[in-house]
Amino acid sequence: MKPLFLALGLVLTGCGAAYISPSVPGPAENENVRVIPLTAQSVRIANATPYQPRALPGAFFETTGDVNAMQAQTGRLPSPAFSEQRRPGTVETRLPPPVLGTPYEIGIGDVVVLATRQGGTTVEELSGLLAAQSRRQGYTVQDDGAIAIPDVGRVQIAGLTLEEAEAALFQRLVESQIDPTFSIEIAEFNSKRVSIGGAVRNPTVAPITLTPLFLQEVLAVAGGVVAPDRDFVTIRLYRDGQLYQLPLRDLPRYSIRLQADDSIFVDTDFELEQAQAYFTEQIQLAQFRQSSRIQALNELNTEVDLRRAVLEEQRANFQAQVTLDAVPRDYVYLSGEVRQQSRFLLPFGRQATLADAFYDQGGALLETADPSEIYVLRASTDPARADEIVAWHLDAEDATNFVLATRMELRPNDVIFVAEQPITRWNRAISQSIPSLITTGVSAVTN
């Protein structure tokens, strides 16, 4: 039998009809080929080869934007002009300490009038009196606390009562050998004042004179309190860095004497008109909010439609380029006893496995493929070993090894090769040789 096969081989070789089957050579046949069985450990080594899958353009990940932020920008409301008015609670009464009843002391800025007796006729005396009255500016207490009197000089009277000032002037007149007959009075009180403001008709500054000044009097001088609801009016008194207060309704119960530099403010904790204006404004703001939301929604829908149209156009353009094979792609090639000799596109944005490519193209031909001879052929990435080919060998005769196919990641330009069964190789050789033998025999008989 063996001589017959040998003779048949010689005949086929002579006829040029010998069948040649592709296979993966071992290291003994080709030193540049390394065959590595696929195991759980070798799969991890194979997957360690660096590879970054190609990414889809940004248009596939973009959305129409933050709807809430866009709506907030287009529907922004104006700032309110009025603040909400809340009815205050009970105001704590804090009264100032009582002011001692001391005589008035002349101060800087006060204007004093000196009346002196003049000799001569009645007309001359009257003229002298009028002249003295017209010289008030000359008797204004200066910054140094003195007044300047002709023929007498400067006399210090600031900080003195009227009696003390009269005694000091008498002494200076005697020293100047001038008739010490005179009278002194204060014409203008400018050194001691009290200010009042807030919810009063006429905010003003009231002077403190020889008679005591009380809080009720200052309110009267300012024209009284002006407030729609007097139950919520508070009088605040600032004195020597301290704040005192009491409700307006309790003012008749107290007699508060004021002193120099007191500051009074009539405070309306609740303003009825402002409260009404606030609620009116809130109604207007609600109406504006409703209309602005409708307008913002329309603008938002228009902008979303425009953005969506742009994104859809970008995506459609990219998909058309992919269909026309006009964009770079990564491929894996399938060869041998597979359902279809083809190339498999590596997907965008993720890794693909041997199982993905193998079964996407229909898998192996069950009648002719050798399940124990499935290879992933990969060129070496080491520049020093550029000619080396690594053949990752999957022995699928043991069906459990197909699990390794689901873990084995593919790289660009990998070749998946499935070898044929030995019987398939023999059948193909026979089917190819028989027509050649018949042709050879006929030719011999003819000749």
Last residue of a domain, one of 154, 188, 222: 188
Q: Residues with Cβ < 8 Å from 242, sequence gap 6 or more? A: 96
Q: What is the pLDDT of residue 353?
A: 93
Q: Is residue 81 part of a domain?
A: no
> Do 358 and 391 belong together in one domain?
yes
- Helix H or strand E encompassing 375: strand 369-379
Query: For residue 410, is pLDDT > 90?
Result: yes
Tens digits of per-residue pLDDT, 363-400?
777 788 888 899 999 998 777 777 889 999 999 888 89
More confident call, 6 vs 385: 385
Same domain, 404 and 295: no
Question: Are 261 and 281 contained in the same domain?
Answer: no
| Residue 31 shares a structural domain with residue 128 | no
pTM (2 decimals)? Answer: 0.46
Q: Is residue 302 part of a domain?
A: yes
Cβ contacts of residue 146 below 8 Å, gap of 6+? Answer: 154, 155, 156, 157, 158
Q: Both tokens of residue 436?
A: 């050649």
Tell me the CA distances in angstroms from 227 to 223, 234, 245, 269, one per residue in order.
12, 11, 17, 10
Domain boundary residue among 322, 340, 361?
Answer: 322
Residue 9 domain-assigned?
A: no
Model pLDDT, residue 413: 93
CATH number at residue 130: 3.30.1950
Q: What is the CATH number of the domain that holds 45?
A: 3.10.560.10
Looking at the DSSP bridge assignments, the partners of residue 196 are: 204, 264
Task: Render pLDDT for 93-149 as a digit per residue (tens, 0 to 9).
Answer: 889 999 888 899 999 999 998 887 655 444 444 444 444 444 444 488 999 999 988
416 in a structural domain: yes
pLDDT confidence of residue 331: 93
Domain match, 415 and 333 both: yes
> Does the pLDDT value for residue 207 go beyond 90?
yes
- Whole-number Å distance between alpha carbons of 113 and 188: 9
Q: Which of 161, 188, 215 is the last residue of a domain?
A: 188
My answer on whether 374 and 361 are in the same domain is yes
Please indicate, yes or no, whether residues 243 and 165 belong to a single structural domain of this protein.
no
Residue type, 376: V
Domain-embedded: residue 94: no
Give the chain's domain count: 4
Same domain, 293 and 227: no
Asked whether residue 173 is assigned to any structural domain, the reply reads yes
Which one is predicted more confidently, 128 or 297? 297
pLDDT digits (tens, 9 = 90+) for 67-98: 555 555 544 555 555 555 555 557 788 899 99
Same domain, residue pair 301 and 374: no
- Whether 152 and 133 map to the same domain: the answer is yes
CA 25, 28, 33, 37 torsion: positive or negative?
A: positive
- Whether 115 and 170 share a structural domain: yes
Of the listed ranges 111-115, 221-225, 285-289, the one predicted with least confidence: 285-289
Pairwise CA distance, residues 230 & 219, whole Å:
14
Query: Does 148 map to a domain?
Result: yes
Is the domain of 349 the same as that of 303? Answer: no
Average of pLDDT values for 222-237?
84
* 13 within domain boundaries: no
List the domain range (segments joined by +) for residue 141.
Answer: 111-188
